[in-house]
Amino acid sequence: MIEIEHLTKRYGETIVVDDVSLRVEEGTIAVVVGTSGAGKSTLLRMINRLVEPSSGRVLIDGRDTLSIPEDELRHRIGYVIQAYGLFPHRTVSQNIATVPRLLGWDRKKIAARVDELLDLFQLDPGEFAGKFPHELSGGQQQRVGVARALAAKPAVLLMDEPFGALDPVIRSKAQDDLLAIQRRLGATIVLVTHDMNEAFHLGDRIAVMDQARLLQYAAPAELLTHPAEPFVEQLTGTAERPFRLLSLTRVKEALEPGDAEGEALVLSTTLHDALARLIALGKDALPVIDASGKAVGRITVERILAHGRLPA
């Protein structure tokens, strides 16, 4: 768990981060969004003390980060940046082994960990362990960057625009992979982005920042239904909001009893995708089945639209 308390950063007269407090629960993803220059990265970099706060403090699992020596603190926190920052003179496996080596793990344990991570990120150890970063594609470099950050099993992972340099197709795959790995490892992640879709896709909670201030920190749906300020509404895309809301809701929550003709939808489908099918097939209703294929009810256009309605 990360607790950020009244964190402020000033450079002379300029305030870059202004009295921000928020709390990231164990095993969840908090996404920090905002326009460039909003102070997102500075906030992130104060968590591992790459930037020293002017005032306020950060607690990780209840311990004030100021009470831990800088280097030791960073060994325990994974850090991923947009440009990855892979060491060009070291191989993939040497890059991944960076922090375990600093921690003095024995050779066997490091080798086993490197292979485990390469497998986890779908990079064949036989092929990739000995390669140098310049021999990798952008997507592979990104995966190695995340693998390197996870090498010493940190409880916390900080990611600064980790997908910013990827093209859209690879990006959404990388986001899905990250979600899967996070669910599996149960890591606590703070991720900075300016891409709203990414924020809604990944965030258990989203922090919206503007001009050094934290405007709202809430679950994605709440951000859409109850934006704290006009800027939040604007940032989430005024016209897009109903659709985003539908993307966050599953068929399960709009299910009604009864039957319908046509191709069945699965309970875990998002309302966004369900509506898309209904429109495409020109239907008002479709049957719904559960994961085992048993019919459980139906979904209607009317119910879906009701879920996309925003409070006045």
Binding residues for another protein, per CB under 8 A? 48, 50, 70-75, 79, 81-90, 98-99, 102, 132, 145, 148-149, 158
Minimal distance in Å, beta carbon 230 to another protein?
35
Please identify, using beta-carbon distances, which residue of 71 and 106 lies nearer to another protein: 71
Chain centroid to CA 197: how far?
A: 11
Please identify, using beta-carbon distances, which residue of 70 and 167 lies nearer to another protein: 70
Asked whether the beta carbons of 232 and 57 are under 8 A apart, the reply is no
Please identify, using beta-carbon distances, which residue of 158 and 218 lies nearer to another protein: 158
Residue 303 neighbours by CB under 8 Å, 6+ apart: 254, 256
Cα separation, 224 vs 59, in Å, equals 29
Minimal distance in Å, beta carbon 206 to another protein?
23
Residue 278: which region, alpha, beta or left (left: phi > 0; alpha: psi -120 to 50)? alpha
Bridging pattern class, strands 205-210 and 213-218: antiparallel
Please identify, using beta-carbon distances, which residue of 86 and 192 lies nearer to another protein: 86
Minimal distance in Å, beta carbon 233 to another protein?
34
Asked whether the beta carbons of 158 and 74 are under 8 A apart, the reply is no
Minimal distance in Å, beta carbon 122 to another protein?
22
Please identify, using beta-carbon distances, which residue of 127 and 256 lies nearer to another protein: 127
Q: Is the alpha carbon torsion for 68, 69, 75, 80 positive or negative?
A: positive
Minimal distance in Å, beta carbon 32 to another protein?
16
